[in-house]
């Protein structure tokens, strides 16, 4: 069986990497196509996970519209499908790459498998455009690899055939464990982590911050930054913020936070360096979905700067808390953790235990 893996962003690459290696181990013929809708951040991950694409559409452009990107992906992937004629295309999650490649596969009568399927908020503007990308991909896919029971149930409720749904856990946990094992090796290149070590005050409680969601652009990020400024007044914390390259994020963050001694703004770091930062943190403030999934395995609580999440399992289990971009809620929730959090009693990550890619491959073998 020939399988074509298609992805375009750093999160997709991280979550698809263990699937790629597991497929190769099991003897599948595997081809990789990247759209590179995120260029620099994608390339870091490909290098770390030892993946060399067979096709690189190199579609990243500054100020690119979603419609322009969608058209470019459809046109670019079509020639790859004609050349390779795969038996199955595997896409991941909620990106424009995933939904457009799934559509291209459908148009060419090629089966599509969707990894991390079934996540929903049922609010088409949050996250935007990811929620609709997921729903479109689900309508086009032939096989659905879901991370949780709730995700599976969402698909069943939408009329997806139960026999096409495989609950596997999330492959990001596989990638996390693979990374932890690799960075613990004595021959690993620690240069980037060494620089971070020199800047971080490990006598303080580290608050690790990330943010990139479109629904937080403008007022949302301004409110989040104001909350961070208030938290930075505490002498017992240091805020570490790898700033996303999107100018809608970078401009506001640098204007508001760059002159505070308790706030360390850094450029986006590689995935292994970010895993190390998560290990060092006391808590994480983020609008990222992947971090909500990874953090429980590291025992780190998460303050989620979103009003809704397609990952409710972590909230229900108490690993994360939704606060939106309300300044008071952010400040109160973070202070409560700083002063009262003593660690989770039992860590049972609702998103998996690190064998999701193996389960996906076993399902394909059957």
Please list the active-site residues: 94, 116, 130, 212, 214, 244
Residue 75: partners with Cβ closer than 8 Å, 6 or more residues away:
none
**CA–CA separation, 160 vs 175, rounded Å?**
28
Please check whether residue 24 is in contact with residue 2, taking contact to mean a CB–CB distance below 8 angstroms. no
């Amino acid at each position: 069986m020939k399988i074509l893996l298609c992805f375009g962003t750093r999160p997709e690459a991280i979550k698809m990497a263990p699937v790629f290696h597991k497929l190769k181990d099991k003897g599948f013929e595997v081809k990789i196509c990247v759209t590179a809708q995120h260029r620099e951040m994608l390339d870091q991950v490909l290098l770390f996970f030892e993946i060399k694409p067979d096709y690189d559409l190199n579609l990243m452009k500054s100020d690119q519209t979603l419609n322009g990107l969608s058209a470019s992906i459809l046109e670019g992937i079509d020639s790859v499908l004609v050349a390779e004629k795969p038996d199955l295309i595997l896409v991941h999650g909620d990106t424009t790459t995933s939904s457009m490649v799934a559509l291209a596969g459908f148009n060419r009568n090629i089966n599509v498998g969707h990894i991390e399927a079934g996540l929903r908020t049922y609010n088409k503007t949050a996250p935007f455009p990811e929620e609709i990308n997921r729903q479109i991909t689900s309508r086009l896919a032939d096989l659905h690899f879901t991370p949780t029971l709730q995700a599976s149930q969402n698909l069943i409720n939408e009329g997806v055939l139960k026999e096409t749904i495989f609950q596997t856990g999330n492959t990001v946990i596989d990638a996390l464990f693979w990374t932890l094992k690799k960075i613990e090796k004595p021959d690993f290149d620690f240069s980037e982590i060494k620089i971070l070590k020199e800047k971080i005050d490990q006598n303080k409680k580290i608050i690790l911050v990330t943010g990139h969601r479109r629904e937080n652009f403008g007022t949302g990020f301004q409110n989040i930054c104001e909350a961070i400024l208030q938290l930075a007044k505490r002498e017992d914390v240091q805020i570490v913020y790898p700033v996303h390259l999107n100018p809608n994020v970078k401009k506001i963050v640098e204007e508001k936070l760059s002159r505070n001694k308790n706030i360390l703004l850094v450029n986006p770091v590689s995935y292994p360096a970010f895993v190390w930062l998560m290990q060092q943190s006391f808590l994480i403030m983020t609008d990222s979905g992947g971090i909500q999934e990874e953090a429980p395995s590291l025992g780190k609580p998460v303050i989620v700067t979103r009003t809704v999440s397609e990952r409710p399992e972590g909230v229900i289990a108490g690993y994360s808390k939704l606060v939106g971009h309300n300044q008071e809620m952010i400040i109160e929730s973070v202070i409560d953790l700083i002063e009262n959090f003593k660690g989770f009693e039992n860590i049972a990550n609702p998103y998996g235990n690190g064998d999701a890619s193996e389960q996906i491959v076993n399902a394909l073998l059957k």
